[in-house]
A and B are shown apart, each in its own frame.
Chain A
Amino acid sequence: MSGEIDVSSHRRAVEVADQVYWIGALDPTLRVFDIILTTANGTTYNSYLVKGSEGVAVIDTVKENFADEFFSRLESAIDYSEIKVIVLNHLEPDHSGALPELMRRAPHARLYISKRATSMLKALLHASDDLEYTTVTTGDSVSLGDRSLRFLHTPFLHWPDTQCTYLEDEAILFSGDVFGCHYCDKRLFNDLVGDFRFSFDYYYAHIMRPFKKHVLEALKLIEPLQLRLIAPTHGPILRERPRRYVTHYRELSTSALARGIGSEDQSMIIFYMSSYGNTARMAEEISEGAGSVPGVRVSLFDLQGGETSPFVDLIEEADALLFGSPTINGDAVKPVWDLLSSLAVVNLKGKLGGAFGSFGWSGEAVRMIEDRMRGLKMHIPRQGLRVKLIPTEEELKDCRQFGQEIAEALVGKASDSDIVEFADLI
């Protein structure tokens, strides 16, 4: 392959395969993307054009500010009247920004989006009543005459609307944000650009990681495909050994705990902070109680002895999370909040949660932690356990019981089904 590609020096379309062109834009000065992501050398907004015997398809557009570059590249390859199909694999503004103008310029084009994208289309463009579109899902395809595009329904990678589009005859996967990264390089192709491994993994960790379950579902559709090239919407085009990025996604999305230990056990992690050893004592007893339930593997961590990042990794793979904090000045302690506010990159929905702690006179921490866990879409099978100052033998017994009951809920042991009064719950 030529090493002379420099897409920053011109505004023409770049052929990536037979009659398939890159018509995207470079954004080398971007340093923060979508508030949550940093990028050391910018990003690209990749858009593609596929020519067929009976019309042209444009796949994804660019961020609105970069529309001029996109339209210049597009115009270098085709006339707007040739565009028959516009596909948006994902409606986030960095891919839909040039859509309204493109629809205006391409009067014969029809828009193809996923069903979930329709409400976003309306909310993003506001003028969508005038837009003609067709919703598609796995198994649907659209013909360009001598070649056709097939759609793969891959929701939540990383929005509800996301899909991938596959060009059958060239075995090219237009993957949207999947397999993408924020890495700007004028040489465009993965075999020519600099070392983008960090950017690729960082992008996965922040964008795809919360949706691992959905990544695994999508991989079931992607892995059987023949793949000559993967064309994502950000970062290098993956033409050299594209399959290895698919394999890498599977590795990143598979539970390290299951791979490492091969255990079928449910994992419960108990984190605690303790100022006088009372909350620590409770944690130990809760751990004892939980550990007595077969099929539950309990881990106990003092937050004072660790750092947030590895704890986030542990939390991601745990099935139940318990937090113990003393109450100081009416609040849970900072290391607990530091950890509980660092969990946006992992999916906690449906994990079991519980809170406990010793207190001196008011004991608000336990309820506050429970509320935070509910906010994180965890569910709390047992009301939190609070002990005033030093736990008595009786209270330590309650701790064991508390741990045991959450562990039993974890392995699906039915709780009592007595009818409770609503008023008693308040």
Chain B
Amino acid sequence: MAKAKITFDDIGQTVNVPAGTRVIEVSEKVGAGIIYGCREGDCGTCMMHVVAGWNNLTQPSVLEEKVLKENMAGRHDRLACQAQILGDCRVKPA
């Protein structure tokens, strides 16, 4: 299976993951500072900033776009409970 590297900038930790893994599955296990609320793409609590590799995450769904907009997300912000890792990227809490 294809692999990808995700780096959590706030703790300086990189993890080698199978492509398709959601950020939520990794970040808590390594103790990164992204905080979760509903865990189902509704509350916006887990907003993260994608520092590099924006195109290496799955495209946000229409629903994620809506929640991002409602929570006044900045450019290159995503929900960590929704975004799946396809290639190398770097993220940090928004």
Which residues does chain A contribute within 8 Å of B15, judged by CB atoms?
A: 419-422, 425
Say yes or no for B35: interface residue by CB 8 A criterion. yes
Distance to closest chain B CB from A74 (angstroms):
32
Chain A, residues 368-402, CB within 8 Å of chain B (1/0): the string is 00000010010111110000000000000000000
Chain A, residues 133-151, CB within 8 Å of chain B (1/0): the string is 0000000000000000000
Q: Please, how many angstroms separate the alpha-carbon atoms of A267 and B1 in the complex? A: 44
Which residues does chain A contribute within 8 Å of B29, judged by CB atoms?
A: 425-426
Which residues does chain B contribute within 8 Å of A416, judged by CB atoms?
A: 12
Q: Which of A119, A374, A420 has the most CB of B within 10 A?
A: A420
Q: Does the CB pair A422–B12 fall under 8 Å?
A: no
Q: Please, how many angstroms separate the alpha-carbon atoms of A116 and B5 in the complex? A: 35
Q: Does the CB pair A419–B17 fall under 8 Å?
A: no
Chain A: number of interface residues, binned into ranges: 20 to 34
Say yes or no for A414: interface residue by CB 8 A criterion. yes
Which residues does chain B contribute within 8 Å of A422, judged by CB atoms?
A: 15-18, 21, 26
Which residues does chain B contribute within 8 Å of A115, judged by CB atoms?
A: 72
Say yes or no for A2: interface residue by CB 8 A criterion. no
From 402 to 419 in chain A, residues with beta carbon under 8 angstroms from any chain B beta carbon are 409, 414-419
Q: A353: nearest residue on chain B (CB-CB)?
A: B31
Q: B34: nearest residue on chain A (CB-CB)?
A: A379
Say yes or no for A294: interface residue by CB 8 A criterion. no
Say yes or no for B33: interface residue by CB 8 A criterion. yes
Q: Which of B26, B34, B35 has the most CB of A within 10 A?
A: B35
Q: A376: nearest residue on chain B (CB-CB)?
A: B35
Say yes or no for A349: interface residue by CB 8 A criterion. yes
Partner of A350, one of B13, B31, B35: B35
Q: A382: nearest residue on chain B (CB-CB)?
A: B31
Partner of B13, one of A116, A118, A377, A420: A420
Say yes or no for B52: interface residue by CB 8 A criterion. no
Given contacts A374-B28, A425-B30, contact A419 B16 (CB under 8 A): yes
Q: Does the CB pair A377–B45 fall under 8 Å?
A: yes
Which residues does chain B contribute within 8 Å of A119, judged by CB atoms?
A: 70
From 184 to 203 in chain A, residues with beta carbon under 8 angstroms from any chain B beta carbon are none
Q: Which of B33, B34, B45 has the most CB of A within 10 A?
A: B33
Say yes or no for B32: interface residue by CB 8 A criterion. yes
Partner of A425, one of B5, B26, B33: B26
Say yes or no for B74: interface residue by CB 8 A criterion. no
Say yes or no for B61: interface residue by CB 8 A criterion. no
Distance to closest chain A CB from B3 (angstroms):
9
Which residues does chain B contribute within 8 Å of A350, judged by CB atoms?
A: 33, 35
The list of the 5 closest CB pairs from A to B, nearest first, reads A425-B29, A381-B31, A422-B17, A417-B12, A419-B14
Known: A381-B11, A415-B11, A425-B26. 15 other contacts (CB 8 A): A116-B70, A119-B70, A350-B33, A374-B36, A377-B37, A379-B34, A379-B35, A383-B31, A417-B12, A417-B13, A417-B14, A419-B14, A422-B15, A422-B16, A422-B26
